[in-house]
Structure 1
Amino acid sequence: MLRIKDLAVPPEGFLQDEPEGGDFYQALQASGIDGFRFGYFAVYRADRLVTVAPYFVMDFRLNTLLPNGWLKRSLSWIRFKLACIGNPTADFGRIQGEVSAEILAAINVELTKKGSLLAYKGFGKDLPLPGFAPAMGLPVPVLALGPDYYQAMKSDRRNLLKRKLKKAAALRYEECAGLPEHLVARVHELYLNTYHKAELKFEKLTREYFVNTSALSHYLLFFLEDELIGFTQLIGKGPQLVNRYVGLDYAKSNDYGLYFAMFIRAVDFGIREGFAEIELGATAYEFKRILGARQDPTWNYYQHTNPLLNWILGKLRSVLEPSESELR
């Protein structure tokens, strides 16, 4: 027989081998992202902990995943209380331990107490979730690293990356373990530039996020003279490195090709520090393909507690999948 505890914080050792593990989840949770509540379902069988599933709850607008346009505007009034297994900021969903139909069915009973729209975000294609509508999520570009990364690349692509990096040569480049306190406000300002520019908006980070995750992070910093105009936040553990967030001053960065230089520098950092792979983030797919990244697919799953609305949700699956513009 299964028993489930609803925890405010993850059990000790939660996802301890993942870059975005328990420490990251708690740092994010403590940063006070507006409109989100977090928790963890700990599933026990015969008093033995077998599964830990992180969840979040939010008000979800049906048009969230749509590109800007008339359809997005026309569906803006439809919203649900969303109870979702996964993490709002992590590209890949993680459940620790057993993931069986029995376990997920028990978790779903608890999810229905949190919201009317149930979801699983960023998982594989074959989660045992009968009755849920599967929808393709954004693929995650993942790049294999190694000391021979550049040597194995075709010469035309290698020369392209050299030109991109040369264009940013006038900028001062620094690496920091953690985020210096005096740069927190500026980093948050640059992050907001990218947030407002993005077509798809989900969570909106606070300044506290960058403070709370500082000890987990490395920062790549780009200065025009003495002004910070771009940053990359990297979080790594074991063989995996994650390109977590970037921020730019678009009015000044474009002249230096900074966006592209930031990813090249992240790759260089990953190679030098001995990481086997780097997640590059689910945006700007064309350039990440040039870098050699593969596209790891993700799937989201949805079920409404109202049978009629759930049937309609299945018919509207394309509304929940990424648009062509988001996959460029």
Structure 2
Amino acid sequence: MPAPPLAIQPADVLAAAQRLRGVAHRTPVLRSRTADELSGAQLFFKAENLQRMGAFKFRGAYNALVQFTPAQRRAGALAFSSGNHAQAVALSGRLLGMPTVIAMPQDAPAAKLAATREYQAGQPGSEVVLYDRYTEDRDAIGARLAAERGMTLIPPYDHPHVMAGQGTAALELIDDAGPLDALLVCLGGGGLLSGSATIGRAMLPGLRVIGVEPEAGNDTQQSLARGEIVQIAVPQTIADGAQTQASGRLTFPVIQALVERIVTVSDAQLVQTMRFFAERLKQVVEPTGCLAAAAALAPGALDALGLRGARVGVIVSGGNVDLARYAQYLAR
């Protein structure tokens, strides 16, 4: 039997870019001579920590909500998220004049929780619903709330409009940096990776696309090895945006088809990379946002991947971190 078609195509990412034009920030591509020396390659950092609401998630959320029908807009959007997708949906809802209800884990970073509520302020029918990520199923909570309130559920990654929107970060990176040999992408549920691989491989057929997960949460790495989606326990990692238990039904086939491999990094490497961004590039980057960069900057890592001297794009996915916790990380 032929394989079913993938959830998104390059044309979907291009259409998303048109919808986001003038709404999303075209974030800069940063360079660092020190980073090049450490990695043995030429690194091009796509600074999505400078995106609206502080992360790439705005791209996918807005691309999804802006396509709602009038009836869907009146009822509003529902989401579940540890923080960045929550903020992205809340901000997109405010910009589009629709209510949003967000289910967030009780232990979500305080800064992300506060920002989500601030974006919802003044929007009737908007609220944050808290849950325990270790004892409650967020998918079940989302389905229940959607049924009770008649709202449209927009998941954080497993949705074609979300995936296409996230891919616009890689589209801009290649536009600005020029031809790349490889692209390193942060990986949680796979929305950013699948969207980036879709457009990246279309623009540069020889592009090597590599996803980066936390060591404690390597569900997609295991899934690629098994050839099927593997579910794990909630990962214990400081990369709260990558505490996913499994790849998405829509994202995983794209990753299987277009991504070369998945590598992992430790929490200690994430802290070291956060410090590098603060000291060398004067950028605040959250732990999850450091995943791809940590893989690029680890001693000998790009050599092991055959990328010495290569032009490597690195997506820095977000900068939303509680400042007290950030200070603790840097003081380690």
TM exceeding 0.5: no
Q: Counting strand residues as a fraction of each chain, which structure ranks higher?
A: 1
Query: What TM-score comes out, normalization by structure 2 length?
Result: 0.28
Query: What TM-score comes out, normalization by structure 1 length?
Result: 0.28
